[in-house]
Structure 1
Amino acid sequence: MNTETYLILFSAILTVAVLYSCVGHGGASGYIAVLALFSVVPEVFKPTALLLNIMVASVAAYSFRRAGHFSWGLFWPFAATSIPFSFLGGYLSLPQHLYRPLVGVVLLASACRLLVHKEPEAASLRRPPLVASLLLGAVLGLLSGLTGVGGGIFLSPLLMLLRWGRAREVSGVAALFILVNSCAGLLGHASSLQLVPGFAPLLAVAALLGGCVGSFLGSSFLPVRKVVKALSVVLTVAGVKMLLV
């Protein structure tokens, strides 16, 4: 790649990190899409995206928790089962043509639903049943590891649509969920770290900078409705990527 291409790649990763981190996401699905557009070999997608995901999700988790938008009670049941299954998913390799179209359709449907979704009143919120949280955590963790994303892209719309959390609280929970699952998925796929490209430090700087900006805006300044709309945009981008890349 020449200097101009590196600058464009840097800008693209930065933009993805800002957009995703403002809703508590790490951006792995967006990074994969960017790498695909720049004709990077598919073998590097998963480890590179997970590394960037860990960096951005760490910043987002800190920002949302510091701003008071986090619920341990909502987080831990999902995480308890998602972590081991994310490790398993990172270890496994399944034909992508089997699950990517299905995941893409689910994400696009969630995005459309969120466009007309209203922030629930505190009185209408309900906590998910423990058994349901544990089972869903396992499923989301497995999907996370298989696809090379942190799982927040699946968890956030689920929590929002079922009225299990408010927008910023969901973002805070999703950020830490993404962090722990990205770490587990990368450990399960550790042998692929040798495939991380030499220009990864450039991507890391872009992702970290974008993560700081996006999570700062999302945790404190963006109106809740804007956060929900941003989440729908993120889901749309990720869904289209799943269907086309």
Structure 2
Amino acid sequence: MELFFIITLFIVAFLYASIGHGGASGYLALMAMFGIEAITMRSSALILNLFVAGIAFYSYYKGGYFKWKILLPFIIGSMPAAFLGAKLTIDPSIYKISLGFCLLIAVARMLIPVKNKKNKPLIAPNMLIGITVGFIVGFFSGMIGIGGGIILSPLLIVFGWANLKEAATISAGFIWLNSATGLLGTLSSGVHLSSMIIPWILVALIGGFLGSWSGSFKFSLSTLRYVLASVLVMASFKLFFV
């Protein structure tokens, strides 16, 4: 079972990094399925997020897809909100339901591709709207223990704020900053990490590196996405009903 967890962790890091995400929702799903202690889940997922999102951001940044003016309003709202959300101690049942819904959003993000509308010019987000969206996404992300990229990236594309590659880069930066501030927010209650965090980080680093590299070459990852989606659905089912 430990070997299966490691293999699945690699797949999660690989696939999430391929679309510019850190993978915290996937890591939390695996931990829930494998019975990892709840007290270690949020902090461990955020640590893994920092490494994988950092690699994804660097890979896409080198490709020239980063747009600072698009990211700025979102992080102005999200970083303090992620810190505040991470400081909350929420009821375990509420946490499980919230995480379950988050996993279903991740499934939709994996299986339903979001495309730019043809001939629609890209525009930078309004500062007030960006800050508001960032605050809402950041607070929820800090509370659950994710980076928020699965929520932000489709919004960037649907509203014409960024194209696919730009959205991946901006989301990776957004995830990294939210994960860092969220982790700082958990310091008030103590950062509890799994005893296996070091090998998990190594596996996530390898998966994140290969995933972010493959994302720039548009490899077909449909089969792996269906496998991961199945894992996330099973984990959400467990969180809702077990």
TM-score range (shorter-chain normalised) is 0.7 to 0.9
Aligned partner of 2:190 in structure 1 is: 192
Q: Which has the larger displacement, 227-236 or 156-165? A: 227-236
Q: What is the TM-score when the length of structure 2 is the normalising length?
A: 0.85
Aligned partner of 2:6 in structure 1 is: 10
Q: What is the TM-score when the length of structure 1 is the normalising length?
A: 0.84
How large is the Cα RMSD of the aligned pairs? Answer: 3.0
Gaps of 5+ in 2: none
Aligned partner of 2:81 in structure 1 is: 85
Q: 1:221 is paired with a residue of what secondary structure?
A: coil
Q: Could you report, residue by residue, the CA deviation over 1:47-90 in whole angstroms, capped at 9, with x for unpaired residues? A: 10000000101101100101112111110110111001100011
Matched, 1:217 2:220: no
Aligned counterparts of 1:137 and 1:83: Cα–Cα separation in 2: 8
Matched, 1:40 2:40: no
Q: 2:190 is paired with a residue of what secondary structure?
A: helix
How much does 1:98 deviate? 4.3
Aligned in 2, Cα 1:57/1:112: closer, same or farther, shift over 3 Å? Answer: closer
Contact 1:103 1:239 (C-alpha < 8 Å) held by counterparts:
no
Aligned in 2, Cα 1:157/1:241: closer, same or farther, shift over 3 Å? Answer: farther
Aligned in 2, Cα 1:146/1:229: closer, same or farther, shift over 3 Å? Answer: farther
Matched, 1:67 2:63: yes
Aligned in 2, Cα 1:49/1:42: closer, same or farther, shift over 3 Å? Answer: same
Q: Could you report, residue by residue, the CA deviation over 1:170-218 in whole angstroms, capped at 9, with x for unpaired residues? A: 000000100000000000002432x312111110111010000001111
Q: Which has the larger displacement, 10-19 or 232-241? A: 232-241
Q: What does 1:1-245 correspond to in 2, within 5 Å?
A: 5-95=1-91, 97-98=93-94, 101=97, 108=104, 111=108, 115=112, 117-121=114-118, 123-190=120-187, 191-193=189-191, 195-218=192-215, 220-222=216-218, 241-242=235-236, 244-245=238-239
Aligned counterparts of 1:164 and 1:86: Cα–Cα separation in 2: 22
Aligned in 2, Cα 1:40/1:185: closer, same or farther, shift over 3 Å? Answer: same
- Give % identity: 35
How much does 1:237 deviate? 6.3
Aligned counterparts of 2:181 and 2:158: Cα–Cα separation in 1: 27
Amino acid at match of 2:190: S
How much does 1:230 deviate? 8.7
Q: How many positions carry a matched residue from both structures?
A: 237
Q: Which has the larger displacement, 17-26 or 90-99? A: 90-99
How much does 1:38 deviate? 1.4
Aligned in 2, Cα 1:206/1:107: closer, same or farther, shift over 3 Å? Answer: closer
Aligned counterparts of 1:109 and 1:183: Cα–Cα separation in 2: 22
Q: 2:50 is paired with a residue of what secondary structure?
A: helix
Aligned in 2, Cα 1:81/1:230: closer, same or farther, shift over 3 Å? Answer: farther
Contact 1:167 1:227 (C-alpha < 8 Å) held by counterparts:
no
Q: Could you report, residue by residue, the CA deviation over 1:127-149 in whole angstroms, capped at 9, with x for unpaired residues? A: 22111001111111101100000
Gaps of 5+ in 1: none
